[in-house]
Amino acid sequence: MSVKQSLFGFAADGKEVTKYTIKNKGGSFIELLTYGATWLSCFVPDRDGVYQDVLLGFDDMDGHINRSNYQGQFVGRFANRIANGRFTLDGVTYQVVQNEAGTKSLHSNGEFSHAVFDAEIVSDNAVAFSFTSPDGTFGFPGTVTASVTYTFTDENEVVLDYRAVSDKTTLINLTNHAYFNLGGCNSGDVLDHEMMIDADAFTPTMPDSIPTGEIRSVECTPFDFRQPKPIGRDIGADYDQLINCKGYDHNFCLNAGDGVKVRVYEPKSGRTLSMTTDRPGVQLYTGNFLDGKKGKSGCPMTKHAGFCLETQVYPDAPNHENFPQCTYRAGEEFVSRTVYKFGVNLKK
């Protein structure tokens, strides 16, 4: 195992952006950036031993600054959406940034995603990134210090260990916004990827993508991924939830217990991905609004070119008492782990 670092470029404010490369004994490697604590790339083999990058993204800082849809970035303080940018803690109502359509908060205006993090190589296969958000940033209470440590194992596991603490009661909901395409980042759409999600329910949304508050069974709906099926099998179904979002952009309520929560298989390459997490939900987003902006090697990222598995509490959680919550008191530490493991199915 080894970790190497190099200059990647410069952020809009002139700060240097460093790239870290972690390579394992099998020859697979990942790349990480201090900008947004971004998971930049992931080179893993197919069934024929051919290594390809399975993450959508950009080759330079211009792409990350000017064309990004959060590709690979660390998201916080509150990942996903908050209705009207408003919530109440201990009887105090907070009005935070409404950066999506002027009516709701999305990913806390990308504060963490566009910050340049401090970084430290903590072992021969791990890098830790940290950032402090001042009290009141975009309306959120508390000074929050957050970190994510990426560890890359010889078993092709990418382990994300999140930690955060605030000096005031606040919301903490951290995730990573990687876009996966197991056929390779420039190989077309992901509709043939076969996916299993260990979830008996999901949270339907209104047309503005804010949850209704209902926790709906996946039974007899296009959202039933309990048995593996191609992502594209039902994505065009005449079902209001898919029509409103032009595909999947929904939180799945993960079943309790240990074990793999999501499995994905790409038939042409044979690559597989399994995900474990201690979070109660995962947002499946199928790149419905990717619009052809140039990504790696200048290739356009078009609709459904990647899928996201954003582990989280449910969207708009502070405004729904029946949802798992993410309120943390002063000094109370947020700790979470998500693991993405890559493999190969040798059968053609």
Quick check: 230 and 201 in contact, CB under 8 A?
Answer: no
- The count of other CB atoms within 10 Å of the CB of residue 167 is 13
Length reported for the chain: 348
The residues that bridge with 274 in the sheet, in sequence order, are 263, 341
- Residue 244's alpha-carbon distances to 96, 204, 276, 286, 287, in angstroms, are 25, 11, 29, 13, 14
β-strand 307-312 against 281-285: which pairing, if any?
A: antiparallel
Quick check: 203 and 250 in contact, CB under 8 A?
Answer: yes
Measuring CA to CA, which residue among 37, 35, 26 is closest to residue 2? 26
β-strand 118-123 against 126-133: which pairing, if any?
A: antiparallel
DSSP-assigned letters across all residues of 281-310 = EEEEE--TT---EE-GGG-EE-TTS-EEEE
Query: Where would I find the beta strands (DSSP E) of 11-69?
Result: 16-23, 29-33, 39-45, 51-53
- The count of other CB atoms within 10 Å of the CB of residue 256 is 7
Which residues form the catalytic set?
177, 310
